[in-house]
Structure 1
Amino acid sequence: MWSTFVMTLKTNLRDRSALFWLIVFPLVLSTLFAGMFGNLADSYEIKPIAMAVVEDANWKDASVASSFVDALSGKTRTSDESETPGAHADPGIHLIDATAVDSLTQARAALADGTADGYLTVDSEGGLRLTLASTVAGSAKDAMSSGSSKAVAIAALGNAIGLYNRTDAVTRDLIADNPQAAVSRSFWTSLGDTAGMTREIQLTNFKPDAMARYFYALLGMACLMAMGYSITAVTTAQANLSALGLRRTVAPLGRGRQLMAGFLASWLCAATSLLIALSYIRYVCGIALGGREPAAVIAVITASFMACAFGTMIGAIPGLTHSVKMGLTSAIPCALSLFSGLYGAFAMSLSELITRDAPVLALINPAQQVTNLFYDILYFDSYRPFLTTCGILLAMSAVFLIAGVIMLKEQRYEHL
């Protein structure tokens, strides 16, 4: 049995076609994905807008507006309200890069020469007014549907200024009606609470890359292609499919032990190939796993076991030649990967539709379940969904192996 295991292992390592589809193909496609999607995350990052701030007489009378603009630009202030140029306590996301000008004429000149995308002024009532260059406003409107960073930043800036103006107007009216409110600490604290109406929370184990789904759909496809190893191991043990199968049929080693050795060798090659692809995706393409790399290794081992079991069943189908069975190793993964989201946004939408409206179809799709293994790692705090998906794949493996054993057991030869 050991010699059969070693022989099958060597045969698999010499199979250039299998090595291409299981190692070269995932690496090349992952590189293409990284090149295509690598800058998409940066396009959604909010970048500050160059703004000219008109510091005229109205501006000097509105100290609160000055503090608000400093907060938008990420600047800090000292206790005596003097500006600290270039100082940033914790800049995080700031919406504007403010440049002070003395007059409205200078602000309009900055818009004309392109050094500023807009300008801020304070009206006679202390309200902030935002003016954008026509080219910037037009491009932001066109890009709003695609969610460009500048369009998002302009929308956020407009909302922030609108909130400031409403809060300022309400504050002035309340103090005018009730002057005692101006000396109440709770009154000013309640005004500050209006800025906290929304807050960012994290629902997943960590913040995954938005394009990670395509990489894990690729792993699902590559995993199913690994069934070619076990198909070869089964067909080379059948006397009616190859001369090697004829010799192995009359060998003293029983068919069961031959198939077991071939299955284990195929599983080892498939798992190793997929681990290489996973390592490339994780460390070269930079698709993080949130510190759950050991779980990802278990996912690959489980998925490759299922793929080899699937290949064993296909290899045991009577009446098909070896070339036809090997052709299925490409046709089946390509077809099933359509429903797991590999082929772009349309395929992702189709995968989500099937999962939501026809969960049984998603449940019996091996490519979808392999992809779900990595979704479970990324999007859930608990390991329970991951273990559930592992159980589904192991159940699939049991069904495939039982079907393969039944078909192999019923095969008889009139003569050798």
Structure 2
Amino acid sequence: MFLQLFRYRLKCLLRDRLLIFWTLVFPILLGTFFNMAFMNLNNDEKFEPISAALVTGGGANDAIFEQTVHQMSLGKDRLFNLKTTASKHQADQWLKKGKIKGYFTDGPLIRLYVQETGISQSIMKTFADHYRQNSSAFADIAKANPEAIQKGLLDDLSQQRNSVKEVNTGGAKPNNVLNYFYTLIAMACLYGSFWGNKEVCDTQADLSSRAARLNLAPVHKLKLFLAGCCADLLIIYGEILILLAFLHFILGIDFGTRTGLVLLTAWIGSMLGLTFGTFVSAITRKGENLKFAVLTAVTMAGCFLAGMMIGDMKYLVAEYVPALAWLNPANLLTDAFYSLYYYDSLNRYLINLAMIAVFTIVFGFGTYLMIRRRKYANL
């Protein structure tokens, strides 16, 4: 009997083209627009060499700095696109016309001339300061210990060594755009609440004629409701799988290597969306359109706080209102997917999953309490 109810309910639900559009087609379209907008956002910014000039002199001290600047202007990873001139007036003209960001003079006192402030100018200042510091240090050492020059110790000091090693906390590289797509999946899961809303509306006899006919049928109301919820859950999960496949195989979105846990998260997210919809629909005694509006508003507010519209919003909420981050199902789902992608440890993922399970149980039990004894004086 239950399987028959499930099959009939599934056929009935699949005929609702409007809900299929909002819960499947709309997220796919939105993911396509996201990909078009963010396709170049994650590309590493290419460093452009700084247009600079050097006013050359004739002293021995000048030659050292001149050689250093020329070395920094060679090769593919050069720091400067260098122009040289013996005329300070010529360098001033280049600077005023915007052909260079600044220029150095290599006299006994190294000077930097710029017309405006910016990143390029700051890099040039840092380069000049670094040279002055090293030059002063080498001069002091040579004066105090002339043997250091003969032993080549100053050459050792001139070698730059980096003692800091960058270590990734997980097996994947940080990605600037993944959070947008993960919030999209969270939105699609919570849009499954529309199916839950439809199930409750088709069960409450005071909301539709279809529900009135179902309540007159010689079938236990709870069995009918559970069969409908199982059909809803199958549709929601199927839509999420289609969305995941589209994002991964068509748009190239990376979900990491834990495919099984990604699918498990999608399943639990589908259950969350379904129970969220049944709960809100059960406690809202007005018409179906109002319930639909409430579900849409709550879902989009949660996705906004999870960083769907403004990427930094997720981190601002976590920093200033951390309790809200844990009470936002959309954020929990987003964080669960990102934890699977980024972290080696499953601790953070399991915490998110536990919170999602708590919400699902609360919504499901709340729905049961609201509809289990609802009776009508007449139909």
Q: Normalized against structure 2, the TM-score is what?
A: 0.81
**Secondary structure of the corresponding residue to residue 316 of structure 1:** helix
Query: Partner residue of 1:302?
Result: 268
Inter-partner Cα distance in structure 2 for 1:203 and 1:59: 49
- Residue 187 of structure 2 contacts residue 330 of structure 2 at CA under 8 Å; is this kept in 1? yes
Q: Using a 3 Å threshold, how does the CA distance of structure 1 residues 155 and 390 change in structure 2: closer, same or farther?
A: same
Contact 1:27-1:280 within 8 A present in 2 as well: yes
CA distance in 1, matches of 2:203, 2:150: 91
- Decide whether aligned partners of structure 1 residues 107 and 26 sit closer, same or farther in structure 2, where only a CA change above 3 A counts: farther
Question: For each residue in 1:91-119, what CA deviation from the matched residue of structure 2 results, as whole angstroms up to 9, or x when unmatched?
Answer: 4xx433x3565644797499379795246
- The match for 1:387 is 350
| Displacement after TM superposition at 1:178 (Å) | 1.1
Secondary structure of the corresponding residue to residue 51 of structure 2 = strand
Superposed counterparts of 1:326-341, under 5 Å: 326-341=292-307
Q: Report the Cα distance in structure 2 between the residues aligned to 1:130 and 1:196, rounded to whole angstroms.
A: 27
What is the alpha-carbon distance in structure 2 between the residues aligned to residue 326 and residue 54 of structure 1?
Answer: 71
Q: Which amino acid aligns with 1:332?
A: V
> Contact 1:50–1:115 at 8 Å: present in 2 too?
no
Distance across 2 between alignment mates of 1:106 and 1:41: 43
Inter-partner Cα distance in structure 2 for 1:282 and 1:130: 51
User: Which consecutive residues of structure 2, in runs of 5 or more, have no partner in the other structure?
Assistant: none
Aligned equivalent of 2:375: 412
Q: Which residue of 1 aligns with 2:125?
A: 158
Query: Identity percentage over the alignment?
Result: 25
Q: Give the Cα separation in 2 of the matches to 1:11 and 1:276.
A: 20
CA contact (8 A) 2:55 2:88 kept: no
The CA deviation string for residues 362-384 of structure 1, in whole angstroms up to 9 with x for no partner, is: 32221221222133234433121
CA apart distance, 1:170: 1.2
Q: Partner of 2:18 in structure 1?
A: 17
Following the alignment from structure 2 to structure 1, what is the Cα–Cα distance between the partners of residues 196 and 252? 31
The equivalences for 1:203-222 within 5 A come to 203=169, 205-222=171-188
**1:299–1:160 Cα change, 3 Å:** farther
* Alignment correspondent of 1:171: 138
The alignment status of 1:95 with 2:79, answered yes or no, reads yes
Shift of 1:393: 0.6
Moved over 6 A (4+): 112-115
Secondary structure at the aligned position of 1:260 is classed as helix
- 1:371 matched to 2:352: no
1:235 matched residue in structure 2:
201
Query: Corresponding residue for 2:31?
Result: 30
In terms of mean alpha carbon deviation, does 15-24 or 402-411 score higher?
15-24
Query: 1:396 deviation in Å?
Result: 1.1
Equivalent residue for 1:123?
A: 106
Structure 1 residues 313-369: Cα deviation after superposition (integer angstroms, max 9, x where no partner):
233337333333223221221233343333436xx44x5454334433332221221
Q: Quote the Cα distance in structure 2 between the aligned partners of 1:293 and 1:212.
A: 16
> Does the 8 Å CA contact 2:317/2:324 hold for their aligned counterparts?
yes
Q: What secondary structure does 1:50 align onto?
A: strand
The residue type equivalent to 1:117 in the other structure is I
In structure 2, distance between residues paired with 1:15 and 1:216: 26
- Per-residue deviation, 1:227: 0.6
Equivalences for 1:129-144 in 2 at 5 Å? 130-132=112-114, 134=115, 138=116, 141=117
Q: Is the 8 A contact 1:234 1:262 kept in 2?
A: no
Per the alignment, residue 228 of structure 2 pairs with 262
Q: How many residues align?
A: 378
- Code of the residue aligned with 1:209 in structure 2: it is N
Give the deviation of 1:2 after TM superposition: 2.9
1-side partners of 2:271 and 2:123: how far apart?
49
Q: Is the 8 A contact 1:230 1:262 kept in 2?
A: no
Displacement of 1:401: 1.0
Q: Residue 228 of structure 1: CA displacement?
A: 0.7
- Residues 55 and 100 of structure 1 are in contact (CA less than 8 Å); yes or no, is this contact kept in structure 2? no
Aligned pair in 2 of structure 1 residues 164, 3: CA closer, same or farther (>3 Å)? farther
Cα deviations across residues 272-299 of structure 1 (Å, max 9, x unaligned)?
3233444444455555444455543332
Q: Does the CA contact (< 8 Å) of 2:57 and 2:107 recur in 1?
A: no
Residue 239 of structure 1: CA displacement? 3.4
- Asked whether 1:50 is paired with 2:51, we answer yes
Would the aligned equivalents of 1:220 and 1:367 in 2 still touch at CA under 8 Å?
yes
1:226 counterpart residue number: 192
Q: Supply the distance in 1 between the matched residues of 2:19 and 2:244 (Cα, whole angstroms).
A: 17
TM-score norm. by structure 1 comes to 0.75
Letter paired with 2:371? L
Q: Residue deviations 1:52-106, cap 9 Å, x none?
A: 5667756997467535643x4462xxxxxxxxxxxx5xx4xx433x356564479
| Deviations 1:194-243, CA, capped at 9 Å, x for gaps | x5376655445533232433333333333222111122123323433333
Q: Distance in 2 between matches of 1:104 and 1:284?
A: 58
Distance in 2 between residues matched to 1:56 and 1:317, nearest whole Å:
83
Task: State the one-letter code of the partner of 1:18.
Answer: L
Structure-to-structure mapping, 1:69-84, within 5 angstroms: 69-70=70-71, 72-73=72-73, 75=75
CA contact (8 A) 1:59 1:121 kept: no
